Chains A and B, each alone.
Chain A
Amino acid sequence: MITAIAFGAVSILPAEMLSSLKHFFGGQKPANIYEAVFIQLRLPRVILCAITGAILAVSGVLMQGLFRNPIVEPGLIGTSSGAAFGAAFVFVMAAKWPPELKSQIGPFLTPLFAFMGALLATYVVYILARNARRVSIISLLLVGIAINAVGLSGTGFMSYIARDPQARSITFWNLGTLSGANWLQVAIVGTVAAVMFIISFRYSKQLNALLLGEEEASYLGVDTERIKRRVMVLNTAMVSVATAFVGVISFVGLIVPHILRLLIGSDNKRLLPASMIAGAVLLVLADMCARLLLAPAEIPIGIITCVHYFIKTLQPFTTKRGIRCLKPKVFPIQLGGNRS
């Protein structure tokens, strides 16, 4: 964490961090430019990054448990692509809107639309997948893919009719960016995350039971319809808020639960808190790479997570003798669990 805060286009010494914090809590102005960078840019960014990483990883665990499938991502039920479309809509359309409106909502215009897009897309998925009071997991999966396709093509259309700088904004947003982080965002995302994490951890037993299948979980006394609805609501709330501020960051929600399952097993009582921490650490590291590799410029963080995912997935296939494609001894992704 501290290392991540220290490095960046402007390096900050630990002593400066301390004095900056002292000034901040003492109600004084930052003494110099380094302290200002630290308190107003670097610290909120690293914290927002950690919270986002935690959210994505926890939501990955929830969704993989719900779908009983380890290759599921938080965005599967439409949340991320809905957010992406909402953001793209603002980037392209807002140019024509009256300036008074824009000045009133100001910097929250994009997050607001992204958030609404995420909620709308997920709600549509839920309504379409619901059938006679039951939500079938298979329908959820299929409708989710369909709505993701709609969101993607909508975003694509927006890019198409956009002027160049707008199209660039859309692309950047879809790769995730934490450069706009400030304390207000940290407060909003942090509050939502704290509440949702506590609720998620309370469901760890029911989520474990669900791993056996819906029928077996119900024989163990779990109200499967209720838990499915609640997990969807939790997931949507967390992911849409985080995505609204930082854009789409893929693969954290996929890879973190995945690595942890290999290390500590699938008991959600351990997996949920462990994913929270590991997700935070992974995304902070990824963000540090994003800031440093091309410093003083930045790489979108989504690119770093994708590359990391690529390396992690190929790892079991590689040996000292080089890449071995046939008969991998351990394949990290255990398929199955999606019995119909």
Chain B
Amino acid sequence: MLKTEGISYSIGRKQILDDINISFQPGEFTMILGPNGSGKSTFLKIFSGEIHHYKGAVYYNGIAITNFRKEELARKRAVLSQHADLGFPLSVAEVIMMGRYPHFTFSPNKKDISICEDVIEQMDLIDFRERNYLTLSGGEKQRVQFARILAQIWEKPAEGNRYLFLDEPLNSLDLNYQQSFLKLSAAFSKAGTVLVAIMHDINLALKYATRILFMKEGRLVYETEPAGVTPPMIKNIFNVDATIIRPSNDLPPVVIYQ
């Protein structure tokens, strides 16, 4: 499990995050929502280990993040960031193999190669394997990056959990891949992964998340299960009037905006 204690962070005089205490359990699919500039990405970068010099502490399974070596952490924690991109020609298979970098020293072994094959198949990328990454469309690039992240933590570590953090994973994806990304992520979380995603679409959050966090102005405002999201919450966080329709059958609730 992942736990943050009293996380505060500021740049100059601007307070970006203010005293965030929360824990994430394996098996939960937590989604963080909030307006632009509410500190979601900064919070994710802090508990991913990318930003240092903050106040407070982050624990992975009870061990402070500062006690991990970077490579050790990279073997069980993968992050899909918003700006992953390349300036040089590399094949799709080569980009995905980068996900295995924390696991081998010089050359990939048989297991690394077979994991990449599995991921390529799972992500529907077989026809793209030898394509130059630079020639792909935005959505295709996002799929390759996601495949790279999954390859990084494809198998369970000998001890402890896996951690998967996604910062706006659905950027430039079509409807079909939005759904399949979230389904695949949910399957990962059920298999014992601590899963946190930053999202913008409340309806997708209501359908796939098991827990929703709302952030505003660097503070954690609400923590709720999807059924507990109400129009006043949405009004308070986003300043948008909304109605929530709850179908009587098994379908998830739907938010419509006024």
Contact = CB atoms under 8 A, between A and B. Distances in A.
A181 B83 CA distance: 48
B155 to A, nearest CB: 16
Interface stretch (A95-103, A220-228, A312-320): A220-228
A220 B88 contact: no
Contacts of B99: 220
A219 B79 contact: yes
Contacts of B49: 218
A337 B134 CA distance: 11
A338 B83 CA distance: 12
Contacts of A336: 87
B70 A212 contact: no
A291 interface: no
Contacts of A211: 86-88, 90
B257 interface: no
Contact of B84 (A213, A221, A222): A213
Nearest to A206: B101
A266 B152 contact: no
Is chain A's interface secondary structure helix, strand, loop, or mixed overall?
A: loop
Contacts, number: 86
A68 B99 CA distance: 19
A267 B86 contact: no
Interface in B96-116: 98-99, 101-102, 105-106
B216 interface: no
A219 B45 CA distance: 10
B128 to A, nearest CB: 15
B84 A216 contact: yes
B98 A221 contact: no
B104 to A, nearest CB: 8
B85 A221 contact: no
A29 interface: no
A208 B108 CA distance: 14
A208 B49 CA distance: 21
Size class of A's contact patch? 20 to 34
A265 B94 contact: yes
Contact of B87 (A68, A222, A267): A68
Contacts of B75: 221
B86 A220 contact: no
A261 B88 contact: yes
B89 interface: yes
B73 interface: yes
| Residue among B45, B69, B90 with max Cβ neighbours from chain A (10 Å) | B90
Nearest to B48: A219
Contacts of B89: 261-262, 265-266, 334
A31 B106 CA distance: 49
A337 B86 contact: yes
Given A212-B85, A218-B50, A219-B78, A266 B90 contact: yes
B134 A334 contact: yes
A275 to B, nearest CB: 13
Nearest to A216: B84
Contacts of A221: 69-75, 101-102
A209 interface: yes
B70 A334 contact: no
B98 A220 contact: yes
A86 B99 CA distance: 45
B21 interface: no
B81 interface: yes
B203 interface: no
A208 B83 CA distance: 17
Nearest to A257: B88
Nearest to A270: B94
Candidate in A205, A213, A219 with the most chain B CB atoms within 10 angstroms: A219
Contact of A212 (B77, B86, B102, B134): B86
A266 B102 CA distance: 19
B172 interface: no
A220 B74 contact: yes
A219 B81 contact: yes
Interface in A55-71: 68-70
Contacts of A338: 87
B25 interface: no
A339 interface: yes
Nearest to B73: A221
6 contacts: A70-B88, A219-B50, A219-B78, A262-B89, A265-B89, A267-B94
Interface of A: 68-70, 202, 205, 208-209, 211-213, 215-216, 218-223, 261-262, 265-267, 334, 336-339
Given A211-B90, A218-B49, 17 more contacts: A68-B87, A68-B88, A69-B87, A208-B90, A219-B50, A219-B78, A220-B74, A220-B98, A221-B72, A221-B102, A265-B89, A265-B91, A334-B89, A334-B134, A337-B85, A338-B87, A339-B85
Interface of B: 45, 48-50, 69-75, 77-79, 81, 83-91, 94-95, 98-99, 101-102, 105-106, 132, 134, 152
The list of the 8 closest CB pairs from A to B, nearest first, reads: A337-B87, A221-B74, A221-B71, A266-B88, A221-B102, A219-B79, A221-B70, A336-B87
